[in-house]
Amino acid sequence: METKDLRISGSRLRKSLEEMAAIGATPGGGVQRLTLSDEDKVARDLFVKWLRELDLDVTIDDMGNIFGRRAGADNRLAPVMSGSHIDSQPKGGRFDGILGVMGPLEVLRTLHENKVETHRPIDIVDWTNEEGSRFAPAMVASGVWAGALEKEWAYNRTDINGKRFEDELIRIGYKGEIPCRQHPLHAYFEYHIEQGPILERKGKLIGAPKGILCLHWYDIYLEGTANQVGPTPMKGRNDALCAAAEMILKVNQLPTKMGGDMVATVGEIQNYPNSRNIIPDKVHFTVDIRSWDDDLAIAAWEDVRKAFEEIAGQRGCPIRIEETWRVAHSPFDERLVQRVLQSAENLGYPALHMVSGAGHDASYMNQITSTAMIFVPSIGGRSHVEVENTTWEDCEAGANVLLQCMLASANEK
Amino acid sequence: METKDLRISGSRLRKSLEEMAAIGATPGGGVQRLTLSDEDKVARDLFVKWLRELDLDVTIDDMGNIFGRRAGADNRLAPVMSGSHIDSQPKGGRFDGILGVMGPLEVLRTLHENKVETHRPIDIVDWTNEEGSRFAPAMVASGVWAGALEKEWAYNRTDINGKRFEDELIRIGYKGEIPCRQHPLHAYFEYHIEQGPILERKGKLIGAPKGILCLHWYDIYLEGTANQVGPTPMKGRNDALCAAAEMILKVNQLPTKMGGDMVATVGEIQNYPNSRNIIPDKVHFTVDIRSWDDDLAIAAWEDVRKAFEEIAGQRGCPIRIEETWRVAHSPFDERLVQRVLQSAENLGYPALHMVSGAGHDASYMNQITSTAMIFVPSIGGRSHVEVENTTWEDCEAGANVLLQCMLASANEK
């Protein structure tokens, strides 16, 4: 059989996903498998067992990242890597992350049972703590591996109970011997659910993001004048919550105003003293702006910042603005992106050249090697919730695309 | 000397206010004298000592209300009462409440030193827990005294540390022997800072509220769809915080739209999951509408409620509305209100016929006897804050108006 006719087993992939979904299963049909929790350990143990069944060379580094290497014909060549994360959000779904670990596992099983030898070696990986929901920030272990984050800093992250990352890593037995440090790679593929509604809306089965949107975070602090609401006439009030409400709507209107593929969101707000009969005198809210076009995102911010200052002036509410975080957009290797599209086409799957609005471990990998991602549809665009869902057929299709992409890259000289 | 020429001592009143302000004084220049706290006890002890120095008949009821009675010529007649509250907000000011206790105390001292006998007896009172900031709700002990609230229910109110009202009353030694129950009154006067900016803006010294505005409280619950902000396009979002922002601005615009003396405020908001990269899927906020015209307040609510439902529909955010509390406007006895204005005029103080936007112990007293209030200006309209302030001259002027009003009522047959 030619390798272009190889197919993964959809039923075996489903079985693996269902076994993983049982670890930390929630009554609402999702999973809670927080990083470095007991559930994470159980899932890791199962993953390692499955790797060993394929005679892979299993290594665990001192950030808890789990690698399995399948030898190639020429093991002096840089390997092709694929992986994602086993950890989940609290009350997360059954596909986010784990699909990108079970997918390449299914690819390796397929190669194994068909005794396919690739030119280059292949690495599979589970990255520790992608979600960042127990220990902030997100994507910490792939960041350390890629040399973008400091290991000691990561070790000292604490969860809300004050437990240290490193201590929890040791507790579950996954602080490995090998230093967490990048090795040369030929290519990196990450298979993931879309986490948005675009594929579903456009009737496509496979998404090939050309890269990850830029991400700009801002923090806005407003001051008003607290007074009892009854005796204080409307005229002359400095109501910080009203000022914030006007600003929130300006942020919401920004993408329409600026055009392009921008999204702009206020997700978080704190209001003080937050008492029903006192005029709010302090409000903090956040702004999240994302776009493929960094300059457009900056221009949008300049526009909305001017609007904020006008509103603050009109309402008599002094404003303080922090430009908290800016990450430039991250274009993937277009040659690999086209490989994803071509593989999908060869397999007869309608595919879409799109963008990724969310960050992934692939963001850090993209800093050090040729990278691409494969998306499959999220039903209703829902993710980070228990009802997150993707059909088994779509899971199978995406894994077949991954198989073909990995084969193509692993057979490159 | 004719009683119309009697004047209180501004310096003695100031000294009493300053001694009280030292009990629970905060570094920011305010006071923290939460009801039934150690500071409340110290202030009560001082008040009782001062009452005894005037040979008053001091009684304490089983809600901790402190009364001092000065005999009149005919003690079979119903007395004239004046008072307010010693307790304060956390980080409150030096005038809210205590001015209405030290004011009538100064009146009684003036009558005492001038050996003035009134026809009717006079009662001075400190009402327990007017603020409601330690034990909700507000004005609880005057409410029990007036028969509007249940004593056992009040006893079982708890503070945020789970301490019971009755236990704290016993702890500070102010659960008296006498049952908390109204006795017949001829008139009730409450002297208070305005807590708003109207007198200052209009250049008036004395305010005579014709009554207390109606008070309507609503609770709004919105649902949206939580999704990661990056991969979720703007079109098709159900952002509960954006819906709330539109509604908050509708509430803010309501008084202009409806006319009259209405105030409308959103003081409190909770947003979920309140994470900067997740679209809000649950928002709760409050609406407070006050007006002298109950029908106008209802019409305003019907108007804004319709707007809420439209916004909820457009944003795809299901809305649930609770009509939490409605208190009708409470008109004082206009004969007594005119007495306040006339007394101010006789004393040469510019006075204003106005309304009270805030509730007071006078609200409950107004249910059982002829009631009026005397307001003096709040600098900048500020109250419930440490910078709350009123000039000593204005404190003196208000107490002279109180003296004349009490004399007039206490000398009525």
Which string of DSSP letters, residue by residue, matches A253-317?
A: HHHHHH-TT-EEE---EEEES--TTB---EEEEEEEEEES-HHHHHHHHHHHHHHHHHHHHHHT-
Question: Which SS3 state, helix, strand or coil, does residue A321 take?
Answer: strand
A285-308: average pLDDT: 97
Question: Which SS3 state, helix, strand or coil, does residue B82 take?
Answer: strand
Kindly determine whether residue A276 and residue B246, on different chains, have CB atoms separated by under 8 Å: no
Alpha carbon distance B278, B312 (integer Å): 19
Report which secondary-structure segment, H or E, holds A149. none
A301-328: average pLDDT: 96
Report which secondary-structure segment, H or E, holds A190. strand A187-193
Closest Cβ–Cβ partner in A195, A228, A252 for B242: A252
pLDDT of the residue at A1:
73
The proportion of chain B whose per-residue pLDDT surpasses 90, expressed as a percent, equals: 94
- Whether residue A260 is predicted with pLDDT greater than 90 in this model: the reply is no
Domains and CATH numbers, chain A: 3-212+329-410 (3.40.630.10), 214-327 (3.30.70.360)
- Whether residue A373 is predicted with pLDDT greater than 90 in this model: the reply is yes
Residue B281 pLDDT class (50, 70, 90 cuts): very high
Helical ranges in B156-239 per DSSP H: 165-171, 198-202
Beta carbons within 8 Å of B302's beta carbon, 6+ residues apart? none
Alpha carbon distance B86, A149 (integer Å): 58
Contact present, A240 and A222 (Cβ < 8 Å): yes
Give me B207's structure tokens: 């305010």
pLDDT of the residue at A23:
98
Contact present, A142 and A100 (Cβ < 8 Å): no
Kindly determine whether residue A227 and residue B290, on different chains, have CB atoms separated by under 8 Å: no
B99-111: average pLDDT: 98
Kindly determine whether residue A197 and residue B256, on different chains, have CB atoms separated by under 8 Å: no
Report which secondary-structure segment, H or E, holds B403. helix B392-410
Alpha carbon distance B267, A229 (integer Å): 8
Question: Which SS3 state, helix, strand or coil, does residue A344 take?
Answer: helix
A86-90: average pLDDT: 94
- Looking at the DSSP bridge assignments, the partners of residue B405 are none
Alpha carbon distance A67, A59 (integer Å): 5
- Whether residue B133 is predicted with pLDDT greater than 90 in this model: the reply is no
Alpha carbon distance A89, A383 (integer Å): 10
DSSP A178-232: B-------SEEEEEEE--SSHHHHHT-SEEEEEEE-EEEEEEEEEE----BTTTS
pLDDT of the residue at B144:
97
**Residues 239 through 298 of chain B touching chain A, CB cutoff 8 Å:** 239, 241-242, 244-246, 248-249, 252, 255-256, 263-269, 271, 274-280, 286, 288, 290
A383-398: average pLDDT: 95
Burial class (CB in 10 A: 0-12, 13-18, 19+), B254: buried
Kindly determine whether residue B244 and residue A244, on different chains, have CB atoms separated by under 8 Å: no
pLDDT of the residue at B12:
98
pLDDT of the residue at B2:
86
**DSSP state, residue B140:** H
The one-letter amino acid at B121: P
Q: What is the dihedral of CA A67, A70, A73, A75, to 10 degrees?
A: 20
Residue B27 pLDDT class (50, 70, 90 cuts): very high
- Whether residue A325 is predicted with pLDDT greater than 90 in this model: the reply is no
B139-144: average pLDDT: 96
B89-111: average pLDDT: 96
Q: How far B77 CA sits from the closest chain A CA (Å)?
A: 36
Alpha carbon distance B154, B158 (integer Å): 9
Cβ-based neighbour number of residue B1 at 10 Å: 8
A19-32: average pLDDT: 97
pLDDT of the residue at A133:
86
- Looking at the DSSP bridge assignments, the partners of residue A191 are A374
**Residues 149 through 178 of chain B touching chain A, CB cutoff 8 Å:** none
pLDDT in tens, A191-205: 999 999 999 999 999
- Looking at the DSSP bridge assignments, the partners of residue A206 are A351
Helical ranges in A149-211 per DSSP H: 151-155, 165-171, 198-202
Nearest Cα residue to A219 out of A320, A311, A326, A316: A320
pLDDT in tens, B154-210: 999 999 899 999 999 999 999 999 999 999 999 999 999 999 999 999 999 999 999
Give me A341's structure tokens: 């599209």
- Give CA angle at A126 (B276, A368), nearest 5°: 80
- Whether residue B1 is predicted with pLDDT greater than 90 in this model: the reply is no
pLDDT of the residue at B327:
87
pLDDT of the residue at B329:
95
Q: Pick the residue from chain B with its C-alpha nearest to A224.
A: B267
Chain B residues lying within 8 Å of A249, measured CB to CB: 242, 245-246, 249
- Whether residue B408 is predicted with pLDDT greater than 90 in this model: the reply is yes
pLDDT of the residue at B389:
97
Residue B404 pLDDT class (50, 70, 90 cuts): very high
What is the ipTM metric for this complex? Answer: 0.90
**Residues 381 through 410 of chain B touching chain A, CB cutoff 8 Å:** 381-385
Number of residues assigned to chain B: 413
A44-50: average pLDDT: 98
Kindly determine whether residue A239 and residue B249, on different chains, have CB atoms separated by under 8 Å: no
Residue A275 pLDDT class (50, 70, 90 cuts): confident
Cα-to-chain-centroid distance, residue A245: 30
Mutate to test the interface with A, among B214, B251, B276, B291 (most CBs of A within 10 A): B276
pLDDT in tens, A138-192: 899 999 999 999 999 999 999 989 999 999 999 999 999 999 999 999 999 999 9
Q: How far B87 CA sits from the closest chain A CA (Å)?
A: 17
Q: How far A297 CA sits from the closest chain B CA (Å)?
A: 13
- Whether residue B94 is predicted with pLDDT greater than 90 in this model: the reply is yes
CB of A235 within 8 Å of any CB in chain B?
Answer: no
pLDDT of the residue at A249:
98
Mean pLDDT of all residues belonging to chain B: 96
- Give CA angle at B369 (B368, B373), nearest 5°: 115
pLDDT of the residue at B325:
85
**Most distant pair of Cα atoms in chain A: their distance:** 84
pLDDT of the residue at B275:
87
Q: Give the global pTM.
A: 0.90
Chain A residues lying within 8 Å of B382, measured CB to CB: 225, 227
Contact present, A61 and A176 (Cβ < 8 Å): yes
Kindly determine whether residue A248 and residue B234, on different chains, have CB atoms separated by under 8 Å: no
pLDDT in tens, B210-231: 999 999 999 999 999 999 999 9
Question: Which SS3 state, helix, strand or coil, does residue B186 take?
Answer: coil
Give me A59's structure tokens: 């290594």
Residue B303 pLDDT class (50, 70, 90 cuts): very high
pLDDT of the residue at B137:
86
Cis peptide before B280 (omega within 30 of 0): no
pLDDT in tens, A89-114: 988 999 999 999 999 999 999 999 99
pLDDT in tens, B35-80: 999 999 999 999 999 999 999 999 999 999 999 999 999 999 999 9
CB of B64 within 8 Å of any CB in chain A?
Answer: no
Give me B279's structure tokens: 């679209």
Alpha carbon distance A135, A150 (integer Å): 15
Q: Pick the residue from chain A with its C-alpha nearest to B254.
A: A234
Give residue for tokens 């307010």.
B84
Q: Pick the residue from chain B with its C-alpha nearest to A290.
A: B230
Give residue for tokens 């109180």.
B402
Give residue for tokens 């700009």.
A216
Question: Which SS3 state, helix, strand or coil, does residue B372 take?
Answer: strand
Alpha carbon distance A157, A154 (integer Å): 5
Angle between helices A38-53 and A10-21 (to 10 degrees): 150
